Amino acid sequence: MVTVENGTAVKLRGNPDQPYTRGALCVKVNRYLEHTRADDRILYPMRRTGPKGSGQFERITWDEALDEISVRLRGVVEEHGGEAIWPYLGTGTLGYLQGCEGVAGRRFWNMLGASKHWLNICSAAGSTGLRRTNGTAAGMDPENFALSKLILLWGTNTLTSGHHLWKFIQDARANGAHVVAIDPIRTRTADQADEHLAIRPGTDAALALGLLNVVLAEGAQDEEFLAEHTEGWEEFRQEILSHPVERVAEITGIPAESVHRLGMRLAHTRPTGIRATHGLQRHKGGGTALRTIAAIPGVTGDWRHPGGGVAFSTSDHVRLAIDTRDDLLAKPVRTRVMSKLASQLDDVKCLWVYAANPVGSTPDANAIRRQLEREDLFTVVMEQFPTDTVDYADIVLPATMQTEHHDLHAGYGHMYLLWNEAAVEPPGECLSTTETFRRLAAHMGMTEPSLFDSDLELAEQLLSSGHPSLEGITLDRLRKEGWVRMNYPKPFAPFAEGFPTPSGRLRFPPAGQAYVPSHTASAGRSAYPLTLVTPASHLFLNTTFGNNPELRRRAKDPVVLVNPADAAARGLRAGQRVRVHNDGGAFLADVEISDRVAPGVVASPKGRWPKLSPGGANPNAVVAERDGDMGRGPGFHDNLVELSPVS
């Protein structure tokens, strides 16, 4: 809720009537209005005047920017074909109008025959794994955690990366629920849980099998649910039996007694709710990990109970009519992979970056910089602030922020549609994503009517799918009420009567496909014996807010958490600056000696702008361009490194 006085937004607060947020804002957003007025806000189109990477620009008019862009785009299409254009869209906004959920700008790019963009960097592996088991990546209504009696927070730091859920967990605890955090790091969420299991990174699927081994030993499997609603049970049962507690303890690094104790709780506690998020699927076996975790409530029958099951994302519950007009393509085009930016830029002649900061957030950061330095690569960046990626642009276009444009949202952690009304006029000459592409299409002489649909027309189209979940939800209603719950029951047990698979049954992983070891399984046996994980920062949202002075002050300099045993073995002391490195690259960080990480594991939070960090610190310098097992998911948490002192 934004309070506006004389055309200026003067107050931002949460809506206490919203059932999921209950009026709370996170530390990142509390200063959002201040952020919109920051001194470094990009307010006008700019053209590069210095070397690529220098960040040297001059102000130009929108007409000048659109003239140059139009000429360059036509030239690329004529000489190299449309596929030499890569529209690189990130998750800077998840809106269905301005952001990645609705694939903003895709109609325009289809007119040019540009490459498609596979936005795999966040959740592709886990979503694919869940769909292979359940037929959908959707699962529990997160509000139903209030009904759970056992809650597994698996690879998720709820108090940092989704604190609204914590209210429902507190409701469950008030009714006697037991909360377990499963995480390589003892996070602030793990501190508040009843129990913390410090799992070895990338071994989550093995733990799932070990817990189910105890369930079988107790005879606690739901035979009726297995018979009526699953397939492949006998094969999967053998896989479970081949993972006894002792073997799983060796794989995961969790003491056998802890695995057994949690297995006993799982066997005898209904309903059990599992919150599993993005961190645990960012390694070689990430898709399989979610696939196997999703099988747990299939064995225990928790899917039949409100408060039971797995919550990864609610996005697949959203059934909007997204029409990117692929019929405008003259022929099929190549799909380029977001996390493979460095290696797939070789034949690209125009890179158009929006709602993304790949220099700060994408694997193999050093190789990306080398590619962006190419003089034959015409780079346009639509941005709000001068990120590291902006420094390499040929043309920079000023973008609006949330208070300045219309958008339709459906968060991936709740069951509501939300309307974002523009509260104030954009500052300077900032334009929304939709308006930028409308103006560019007109400037290039395009006449296809759908390219010029207004934001309200686009929103009406999105709501026109006819799916029962949208019954009664109109744009007028959304604009008046602000948010509306989609038409799903409350409480909601999505798979109590079956699954959206061809057979209508949950599909257990086939024999030998329930656990895929990560690349870090060889830790301790190479020149790089430490496994690096890069969790979300409490103060930044990926690299959004990475330039906010107050949040940067509170975050201090980059640190790497090191277990006391690993620090002693290397003669490291607290506060000492070290080089975190492997064959791919290096970054600098200060040592924080802590038992929050186990021996053999080090952690350094993501989200900083390299150019605002000592030595250009960027953990993605040591992250290889490596595909996961499903969805081509990236391997951010699948890295082996060493630490060396910096004099």
- Note the pLDDT of residue 539: 87
Residues of the chain with CATH 3.40.228.10: 125-315+493-507
Asked if 603 and 532 touch (Cβ cutoff 8 Å), the reply is yes
Annotation: CATH topology of 125-315+493-507: Dimethylsulfoxide Reductase; domain 2 (3.40.228)
Q: Smallest Cα–Cα separation from 148: which of 312, 310, 317, 315? A: 310
- Note the pLDDT of residue 647: 79
- Note the pLDDT of residue 266: 98
Distance, in Å, from the CA atom of 476 to the CA atom of 471, rounded to the nearest integer, reads: 13
Average pLDDT over the chain reads: 95
Q: Which two tokens stand for residue 87?
A: 């529209």
Distance, in Å, from the CA atom of 426 to the CA atom of 39, rounded to the nearest integer, reads: 15
Residues of the chain with CATH 3.40.50.740: 38-119+324-409+416-485
Residues of the chain with CATH 2.40.40.20: 520-645
Q: What is the mean pLDDT of residues 242-252?
A: 98
Query: In terms of CATH architecture, what is 520-645?
Result: Beta Barrel (2.40)
Decide if pLDDT at 491 tops 90: yes
Q: What are phi and psi of 351, to 5 degrees?
A: -110, 125
Q: What is the mean pLDDT of residues 124-140?
A: 97
- Note the pLDDT of residue 519: 81
3-state secondary structure of 349: coil
Determine which helix (DSSP H) or strand (DSSP E) holds 34, and give its type and residue range.
helix 32-36
Asked if 328 and 107 touch (Cβ cutoff 8 Å), the reply is yes
- Note the pLDDT of residue 29: 87
What own/partner pairs with CB < 8 Å and gap ≥ 24 does 462-470 have? 462/96, 462/97, 462/102, 462/320, 462/321, 462/322, 462/408, 463/320, 463/321, 463/408, 464/321, 465/319, 465/320, 465/321, 466/321, 467/319, 469/317, 469/318, 469/319, 470/319, 470/320
**What pLDDT digit, counting tens, does each position of 53-95 carry?**
999 999 999 999 999 999 999 999 999 999 999 999 999 999 9
Distance, in Å, from the CA atom of 190 to the CA atom of 614, rounded to the nearest integer, reads: 30
Q: Which two tokens stand for residue 338?
A: 């977001």
**What pLDDT digit, counting tens, does each position of 409-432 carry?**
998 899 999 999 999 999 999 999
- Note the pLDDT of residue 615: 85
Q: Smallest Cα–Cα separation from 479: which of 413, 423, 404, 412? A: 423
- Note the pLDDT of residue 525: 66
Pairing assessment for the beta strands 350-354 and 230-231 based on DSSP bridges? unpaired
Q: Taking the model in full, what pTM does it have?
A: 0.96
Looking at domain 38-119+324-409+416-485, which of 3.90.1150.10, 3.40.50.1220, 3.60.110.10, 3.40.50.740 is its CATH number? 3.40.50.740
Decide if pLDDT at 202 tops 70: yes
What confidence tier does 526 reach under pLDDT thresholds 50, 70, 90?
Answer: confident
Decide if pLDDT at 523 tops 80: no
What confidence tier does 23 reach under pLDDT thresholds 50, 70, 90?
Answer: confident
DSSP collapsed to 3 states, 580-639: EEECCEEEEEEEEECCCECCCEEECCCCCCHHHCHHHCCHHHHCCCCCCCCCCCCCCCCE
Distance, in Å, from the CA atom of 531 to the CA atom of 600, rounded to the nearest integer, reads: 6
What own/partner pairs with CB < 8 Å and gap ≥ 24 does 467-475 have? 467/319, 469/317, 469/318, 469/319, 470/319, 470/320, 473/417, 475/419
**What pLDDT digit, counting tens, does each position of 137-160 carry?**
999 999 999 999 999 999 999 999
Other beta carbons less than 10 A from residue 570's beta carbon: 17
Decide if pLDDT at 524 tops 80: no
How many Å is the Cα radius of gyration of the chain? 25
Decide if pLDDT at 207 tops 90: yes
